[in-house]
Structure 1
Amino acid sequence: MNWFKWLLAAVVGLLAVTVFYLLVLFDLNDFKAEITQKVEQQTGRQLHIAGDIGWTVYPSLGVSLSDVTLSNPEGFVPEQMLEVSTLVAAVALMPLLNKDLQIQQLHLDGVTVNLVTAKNGRTSMDGLTSDQAVASAPAETTAPVSAPGSQQLQLEDVSIRNLQLNMITEGSPTQSLTLKSLNLTDFKANEWAPLDFELLVKSDPTQLNLKGSAQLQLSNNNQLVQLKDFVLDTEFQGLPLKQLVLETDLKLALDKKQLDWQWQKLELDDIKGSGQLAVNYAKQAVIKLDLKLDEVDTAVYMAENTSTTEAEAASNTEPDLTALRQFDLDLKLAVKTLKVSGLHTENLQLELSNKAGLVQIQNASADLYDGKVVAKATLDARKTPVSYSFNKQLSGLALRPMLIDGADIDLLSGTAKLSIEAKGHSLLPEQLKKNLLANGSFEITDGSLYGVNIAQMIRNAKATLKNEAQSTDNTEQKTDFSSLTGSFNLTDGVLTNPDLKMAAPLLRLAGKGSANLLTEALDYQLSTALVNTSKGQGGKEKDDLAGVEIPLKISGTMQEPKYSLDTKALFETQLKDKVETQKDKLKNKLLEKLGGL
């Protein structure tokens, strides 16, 4: 056995001498010039290593570098493509011999990557890859795939600080991504390990600052990545959004190309909710999104984005919706309270799908001003310009507060029922009104027409013709009605209403007219007919006003409608009544005289 001891001692001694030589006598810094020369020959780039190259052999195989730069192609700005202040990497040597990769230390600090795209199409990556070498490489027999778990990955200490990626396109604002910090410790396959990071994303004038922490787990076969207790806090600058906070769990199955993301808590500024996201990207991306939100008020975001909205309104370019053709989407959205453009809705339920550019709202419903709205819609973005269609039914709607909130129009009150079907093409703001074709019907009960008291107008007109004093009644300027009905159609931006009818305690009204949605101009020609009694809205006895018919014209705009009576027709009616009265008197006198004979 002595020979074995001597042999073992010789091997150990040889290893010790080798390690001593490598660590003490062998200096990697002596090869700096050769390394930089090889890089320049292969890539045409300048590699500069200002700091020392340090390394270890046992018990870990490691290397350390500092102050390293790699240049961009000549003529590019900035000159350096890569700058590294500090790099330290070490792996356990003995486990590596058994195909177990145990990274004992990985530290990066002060890394900057500048990826430039010139106007002529050249990029920072040109010359760093060789397609020719890949194409000319001889075919090799495929090696047998290792069984799952035969290669183990273990990370004991990973720390990254101040890693910045700048994406520079000449003539465009620079976009940058800065990983301020990333820490991962005690990471082993199929075990949970703590992870935290801070990330900054800039694209003038917007900026995102993300902070996150989680427990990370990677399966033995490296195919399943999981994050639990994942908290993500995002702050926005240069956007209407201010802050997004998520508390989530995430699973990413690399073999199935499937992402599942559960949002137990979602806070976007004052918006609170929860949801889940599933994405399969095996072929064309298939996305499923389910969101439940409490209170949503879009006014804050729309107010801060006024300039963008105005710019889009002035644009003559159709919105580019070709991205909708690249994925499928199933969306379910539930919102307890929603405020959009001043309108308030409750209990919104929305089901939406996108199939390669064909967007459909199969079901949308909400409680709206004491009533209910139900709608369906389709948007076809598979061609340009896009086309769309929708139908909507509203019932039990409190009309006056809705018009005031949504359009700042105090014109009508009552309980409304509305049905509309529409279709059109183009999403340009002006084209939306011009190209929309629609038809529908409405019925409003127990309401009032504000801004005019038709009965009082008629009485005052008659008083003027009789040289009598006009009414000084300070009754609110409105016309009460029991029902207001009609149908409508919309073509070329003009809404035509051919059969408007109003039934009121005092009068009946009927006629037709139009409303121009482009200019907001009103043009209605109506006929009023007073019923047998006018009592109930400041009227007189029935024999004074009964049976009078008079044309009524509505002009002006939706914001400021104008009402005018055709006094000429009223005068002719009054004159006719007087003639008939005189004829009756003469007839009676004649009959009296004839009777006396």
Structure 2
Amino acid sequence: MGNFLKFGLIGLGVCLVLFVISAVIFAAVFDPNDYKGRISQAVLKETGRTLTFDGDISLTFFPGLGVTLGGLSLSNAEGFGPAPMASVRSARVTVRLLPLLMGKVRFNRLELDGPVLNLGRDEKGGANWDDLVGREPDKADKADQDEDAGSGTFDLDVAGVAVRNGSLSWDDRKSDTRFLLRGLDVTTGAISKGGLFPVKLSVNFDCSKPDAKGALTLEGKSSIDLASRQYGHMDVHATVKATGAAIPGGVLDGKLNFQFLALDFNKETAQVTGLECTAYGATLLADGTIRGLTDGLKAATASLTLQPADLRTVFAALGAPAPNTADPKALTEVGGTAKVNFKTGRLALDDVELSVDGCRIVGKGTVERGRAWPRITAQVDAGEVDLDRYLPPKHGENEGAAQEQAKAGGLDDTVLPAGVIRRLEFDLDANAAGVKIGGAKLGKTAVTAKAEGGLVTVDPMVAEAYGGTVKVSGTVDARQGAPVVRIRSEVVHLDVGALAGDVTGKSEYAGIADYTSSLNAQGERMKDLLGTLGGEFTFKLSDGVFPGVDLVGMARTTQTAKGRDTVESDHADSTKFGSITGTGTIKDGVVTNQDLEVMAPGLRADGHGAFSLVTRQIDYMVKAKLVPTGQGQGGKSSDELFGVMVPIHVTGTLDKPHYWVSVKEYAKALGGVVVDTVGTVLGGVKNVVKGVGSALDKSCCEDGDQAEEPERKKFLGIF
């Protein structure tokens, strides 16, 4: 046994000596540079390209068998310029000796210095590599390929890869796109089938169309299985910094990390775990899978988390203006989670949970392929929603400008475009624990809305409000011709005082309101909708208080103040009323009311008339009188009580109403002593109507041409 081992070692040593002697002799008598011309001619014959050797070829035998190339370049295809398609400053490839003696190929470190690859497409879409990859192999080559394929799979085993200062250019003349990757440095550890190896990469990019330039770095671990076409990446950390007009906001400083990414090109699937993307002041977390890597996205599932972010900072980083909100701190803390499920033609969002400035919103929804536009289905439940924070701020100048713009041409604006309505497809169900809008605070609010085939339905919108309820339902029907709008509304036992306090900040109003209406209109423009508006309505305001006047006290003062021209009320005074009721109709935009009735202690009033929402013209009269009764709601009507009747004419426009009374005829009929009383009554009525929502001007008691130009105020807020 000992002799066998001894002779075996001697034989191995002799073989090594013979190999070294053979290698030395081979290196001495064989020069690979002598074959450059033959190699170039063979390449030219097969490809039509010119292979140029700019440096020497040298062979190495220890510690591995290999070859080192100097400069090498391959010419470009015709029509793509004089620059080579591919070139390298130097390259080194060696094979380990011992595995080679055992019939296996094991590479040492592969090194490339200064590789350059110039790729492109012409105006017709032809690529400069088409003549290389599109060639049909001859029968002998095909037989060799089949033989190689049947001999078994190739086991990748490389000690490492090092690429220094590489570059890649892409010039797409068809899409007019150009970019350049330069300064590419890649280093890896040992690469073997299915084994993890470290990877480190850095590259600069410069794009002229689109305009973007920057740098990318990446570090992590990877695995490659060429036979199964499976690639894995773990603990990857990447950064990208970019500037340019094509970059949102002009500047990007982003980070991308993930724990695991698996790509399977046989199954066309990818799976990612622990993805964390940070850019523009926001961070998105994701775990998910996708199907369809090379032949188009087929399906995807993911769990997404948006960490709390200041959206104003995000908008600023993107170079976009932030929403103009009344609260400058609105949208400064937004985050949430959702589960996404995508299949061709359908996107579903489940378990959606958002937090917007402390308001919790949960729900689910789908987006599906519709007839013209996507069909949206959503169910949303929210907590207390303060919409006032997110509406534009109120500024007097802006409001005035908006009003002038509305007068100039707002009525001609299209508000219900039939073409858009016919494309809408949605089914929405929203609920909120509370809603604040315009200062008004609503309780539980629910809205159900649908749209399909040109018919939009809201049925219903219901809200708890100030001790009562508000209910609105309606349709917009654009299936044929101009849209037809039908709206039904109902207000039950709404506390006007509490509402006015929240909206105006004043607590001087009081009363319980009931209101119903059924309206309809047709048209796309606001002008058309107002001109065709029709329907009917009823209203009742009970158990209320008008601020600014004590009618009974004024009447008593008037009787003892004959020497005074007028009797003014103290704004700290108030008058309680029992009820204000009425009904009305609307036809072609003209609102008509014939039965306004006011019952208050010491006061009765009724009114009738009309005004046009199109021309804004008013023709209305309120008849008011002081009466000797302390009853309000439930008391006798105006016709059953004796008093001084004062007819108040209301003319002009809704924007500039004119209030006036002919005092001369009352002075002639009742005597001059009554004039002071009439003035007092008008002062009381003025404050009463103001409390309802209108106002009388200080000169309402004057007559004819001598009347002072009245103050212009809003009218008929009760309607």
For 1:210, which of 282, 290, 301 is the aligned residue? Answer: 282
Query: Where does residue 301 of structure 1 map in the other structure?
Result: 390
Of 255, 260, 270 in structure 1, the residue corresponding to residue 349 of structure 2 is: 260
Say if 2:158 is the partner of 1:58. Answer: yes
SS at match of 1:239: coil
* Distance apart, 1:352 and its partner CA: 1.9
Q: Deviations over 1:438-480 (max 9, x none)?
A: 421101112245566667787888889x889866774866554
CA distance in 2 between partners of 1:44 and 1:23 (Å) = 32
Matches within 5 A, 1:220-369: 223-227=299-303, 231=307, 233=309, 235-236=311-312, 237=315, 238-240=321-323, 242-254=331-343, 257-264=346-353, 266-268=354-356, 270-281=357-368, 285-304=374-393, 310=402, 317-318=413-414, 328-355=425-452, 357-369=454-466
Coordinate RMSD, CA, aligned: 5.4
Summarize deviations over 1:290-330 as a string: whole Å, max 9, x none.
32323333333333497799499566553686666556322
Kindly state the Cα deviation for residue 549 of structure 1 after the two structures are TM-superposed: 3.5
Q: Secondary structure at the match of 1:36?
A: strand
Alignment gaps of 5+ in structure 1: 48-55, 118-149, 201-208, 537-544, 579-597
* Equivalent of 2:105 in 7, 11, 15: 15
Paired residues for 1:127-142 under 5 Å:
none
Stretches of structure 2 that go unaligned for 5 or more consecutive residues are: 1-7, 9-14, 16-97, 130-155, 212-227, 264-269, 316-320, 324-329, 633-640, 675-719
Alpha carbons of 1:381 and 1:272: their partners in 2 closer, same or farther (altered >3 Å)? farther
Tell me the amino acid that sits aligned with residue 348 of structure 2: L
CA contact (8 A) 1:109 1:161 kept: no
Distance in 1, matches of 2:552 and 2:659, equals 12
1:486 corresponds to 2:582: yes
What's the offset of the Cα at 1:212? Answer: 1.5
1:184 paired with 2:248, answer no
Deviation at 1:181, TM superposition (A): 1.9
Change (3 A) 1:70 1:37: closer
Out of 519, 540, 546, the position equivalent to 2:642 is: 546
TM-score under structure 1 normalisation? 0.64
**Which residue type is aligned with residue 481 of structure 1?**
F
Distance 2:422 2:159 in 1: 55
The 1:461/1:510 distance shift into structure 2, 3 A limit, reads farther
1: CA distance, partners of 2:170 / 2:542: 78
Q: Taking structure 1 as reference, are residues 501 and 12 closer, same or farther at Cα in structure 2, changes over 3 Å only?
A: farther
- Is 1:197 matched with 2:277? yes
Separation in structure 2 between the aligned mates of residue 492 and residue 439 of structure 1, nearest angstrom: 12
Structure 1 pair 413–228 and aligned structure 2 pair: CA distance change class (3 A): closer
Q: 2:488 aligns with which of 391, 411, 436?
A: 391
CA distance in 1, matches of 2:642, 2:120: 108
Aligned amino acid, residue 235 of structure 1? L
Once the two structures are superposed, what CA deviation does each residue of 1:125-151 show, in whole Å capped at 9, x if it has no partner? xxxxxxxxxxxxxxxxxxxxxxxxx87
Q: 1:441 aligns with which of 538, 548, 556?
A: 538
Judged with a 3 Å threshold, the aligned counterparts in structure 2 of structure 1 residues 298 and 177 are, in CA distance, closer, same or farther, namely farther
Kept after mapping to 2: 8 A contact 1:373/1:395 = yes
Shift of the alpha carbon at 1:374?
A: 0.8
- 2:257 alignment partner AA: N
Task: Tell me how far apart the structure 1 counterparts of residues 453 and 244 of structure 2 sit (CA, whole Å).
Answer: 33
Structure 2 residue identity aligned to 1:362: D
Structure 1 residue aligned with 2:170, among 70, 74, 78?
Answer: 70
Partner of residue 134, structure 1: none
Offset of residue 414 of structure 1? 1.7
> What SS class does the counterpart of residue 350 from structure 1 fall into?
strand
**Residue 239 (structure 1) shift:** 1.7
Answer with 1 or 2: which has the greater Rg: 2
* Structure 1 pair 86–513 and aligned structure 2 pair: CA distance change class (3 A): farther
CA distance in 1, matches of 2:531, 2:413: 16
Indicate yes or no: 2:230 matched with 1:156.
Answer: no
SS state at 1:243 partner: coil
Q: Establish whether residue 503 from structure 1 lines up as the match of residue 593 from structure 2.
A: no
Structure 2: distance between partners of 1:64 and 1:384: 69
* Corresponding pairs, count: 497
Could you tell me whether the CA contact under 8 Å between 1:248 and 1:263 is conserved in 2?
Answer: yes
Shift of 1:361: 1.5
The code of the aligned residue for 1:301 comes to Y
CA–CA distance in 1 between the matches of 2:423 and 2:546? 50
User: Letter of the aligned partner of 2:302 in structure 1?
Assistant: Q
